[in-house]
A and B are shown apart, each in its own frame.
Chain A
C-alpha cells in the first residue's frame, strides 16, 4: 500500500522516461493519452491499486511497461542467481566471521584479536560495490575476465554459474563476516565469564573443548539474530554489487527498471525484497525455540 502510494502519487512521468524529454515534448496530447491508457496509467488511482492487488494475487505480478513479459517471468529468470549470491554470501560470512570471532575471544586484546578487529572495522567501512569493482578490475588485468552477459542457471552449467556468483557472494559475505566476527566475539566474551564455563575449566577440560562445546552454543543466538538483520544488508547491497560485477541478477533488473521508470516492475520487486526480509526475520525469531529449549513462545 505504502509502496503504491509513494510511487504513484509523487511526480515522475513515466512517459518522459520512455520517450525522452524531447520526444515527450513533440508528442500530441491525444497520443499521450492513448499510451497512458494502454499502460493503465490513466485510470483512477483506486482502480490501479485494485489491479495491482489482483496482479499480486494471481501470481503474475503485472507486466513490464516495456518488454511485455510479466514480472513473475523476470523473477523466475533472474531470481535464482540473486538467491544463490545471497545464500553463498551467508555461508562465506559464517565461514569467515565465526572463526575470526572465536580466535578473538580466546585471547582478548591479544595480537590476533587486534588484527581481527582491525580487519573487521575496515571491511565494515568499505562499500561493497567498490570492492567489487576493484576485484573486477584486477581480474580484468590478470585473467582477462569478462562480465557475464547471459544468465547461466546452476542446473545448466554449475561451473560457469559458480564463476558468476562467487565474486558478488565473496564481497557481500566478507562485509557481513565482519559484523558476525564482532558479534560472536562480544557474545563469546560474555559467555566465557559465566559460572558454568569456570566449572568446566575447574574440572580440567581443555580450552578448545570449553570454547567450542560449552561457550559457543550459548553465544550463537545473537549471532543468528544479527545474521537475519544482515540479510537486509545483503539484499540492499546486492543491488549495487550486482551492478559492479555486471551480474544479470534481480538487483540489476531493479536498477534498470528504476532508470526506465518501469513502475510496475519496481513496485513488485521492492515488495518482493521487503517480503523476503520480513519472512526470513520471522523464521529467525521462530528458530529460537528450536535452537534454545529455554525459550518458549
Chain B
C-alpha cells in the first residue's frame, strides 16, 4: 500500500545532518506553514498547562454559591458552573490532565510497542509469530472500547487512564516499527555486526534502534491527538480521571447533568479539546512529511486507524 500513495517531490525533505538546527526549522516552517501554526498553538497550550496555577484567574476547585450557573461576563469570561466554579480556570487546569495523560500514555504505549516491534522484527521466528498474533488480537478491539474495558478492570484514576490509553497504542507502534526493523535487519552493516560476533541485543540497541527513531517520532506525534480524544471520551463517560480534578472530559459530563445544559459549560471544554487535537494533528502531519515521506497521511491513517471518539 505504501508505494501506491503519491508523494510529491517537495515533501521529500532532507533530514538534518548535523547542519544548523535553526535552518532546518526554518525550512520546515516554510514547507509546512499549517504545521508551524499547529506547533505554535501546541506550544502555547503546553505553556499554559505548565503555568496553570499562575495563569488561571481563579481557583478551579473553589465553589462560589453566590455566582452559580452564570453565563460569561466580565467577572468570569467563560461563565461559571453549577456550583459557581470558574469555567475558564477549569478549562486551563483541565489542559494539565489532558496533556499529561496524552504525553505519558503515548510515550508509554508507543515506546513499549516500538521496543516490542524491534525485537519482533529482528528476532523473527516463533517470537515474531506469537507477537503478531497478540497485536492482532489487540487491534481487533475498537480502541475506545478497549480503553473502557481496561479502565474498568484496573479502576479509575490518573495512572489507570494512562495505562488504559497506552495499551491501545501498543499494536500501532509494534506493527510500524516491526516493518522498519525487518528491512533494517537485511542491511549490510547489520550483517557485518552479526559477522563480527555482536550479540542480538547489542545489534538491536546500537544498530537497529537508531533507524527507528524517525518513524517513532512520527507515530508519537500522530497519536497525541488520538490520546487526547480518548482521554476526553473516557472522562465524558465517567471512567476517566475522577472529579473534582477538572478535565475537559469530566467537565462535559458535568455539564449534561443539568436538565438543560448551559451552553458555555459545553462549548469551552470541547473547544479546548478540538483546538488542541487540531494543533497536534497539524504538527504531526508536518513532522511526518518531513521525516518520513513514505508514511503519507492516508497510509498512516490506514495503519493506525486514526482517532476514535
> Chain A residues in contact with chain B, CB under 8 A?
2-3, 6-7, 10-12, 121-122, 124-130, 133-134, 136-137, 140-141, 179, 182-183, 186-187, 189-190, 193, 222, 225-226, 229-230, 232-233, 235-237, 239-240, 243-244, 254-255, 258-259, 261, 266, 270, 273-274, 277-278
Contacts and interface: CB of A to CB of B under 8 A. Distances in A.
Could you say which interface size class chain B belongs to?
Answer: 35 or more
B307 interface: yes
Contacts of A186: 5-6, 296-298
B261 interface: yes
B301 to A, nearest CB: 6
B298 A183 contact: yes
Contacts of A134: 266-267, 270
A187 B297 CA distance: 12
B142 A125 contact: no
Say what secondary structure dominates the interface of chain B: helix
B233 A273 contact: no
A128 B225 contact: no
Interface stretch (B100-108, B145-153, B170-178, B206-214): B145-153
Interface string B269-284: 1100110011001100
A129 B301 contact: no
B152 A235 contact: no
B274 A127 contact: yes
Nearest to B297: A182
B150 A6 contact: yes
Contact of A129 (B143, B155, B309): B309
Given A127-B274, A137-B266, A237-B144, A258 B239 contact: yes
Contact of B270 (A122, A133, A277, A278): A133
26 contacts: A121-B282, A124-B306, A125-B281, A126-B277, A127-B274, A127-B309, A129-B236, A130-B269, A130-B273, A133-B266, A134-B267, A140-B260, A187-B298, A190-B6, A222-B1, A226-B302, A232-B143, A237-B308, A239-B233, A239-B237, A243-B237, A244-B256, A255-B148, A259-B239, A270-B146, A277-B140
A255 B148 CA distance: 8
Contact of A270 (B143, B145, B239, B270): B145
B21 interface: no
Given A236-B308, A273-B145, 11 more contacts: A12-B153, A125-B274, A127-B273, A129-B252, A134-B266, A183-B301, A186-B5, A237-B308, A240-B144, A240-B233, A254-B145
B278 to A, nearest CB: 4
Say what secondary structure dominates the interface of chain A: helix
A106 B233 CA distance: 37
B237 A240 contact: yes
Contacts of A277: 140-142
Contact of A274 (B141, B144, B260, B307): B141
Contacts of B146: 270
Contacts of B239: 258-259
Nearest to A17: B152
Contacts of B140: 274, 277-278
A270 B141 contact: yes
B270 to A, nearest CB: 3
Contacts of A11: 154-155
A233 B307 contact: yes
Chain A CB within 10 Å, residue with most, of B149, B154, B301: B149
B285 to A, nearest CB: 8
A129 B149 CA distance: 19
Contacts of A233: 142, 305-308
Given A179-B306, A243-B236, A124 B152 contact: no
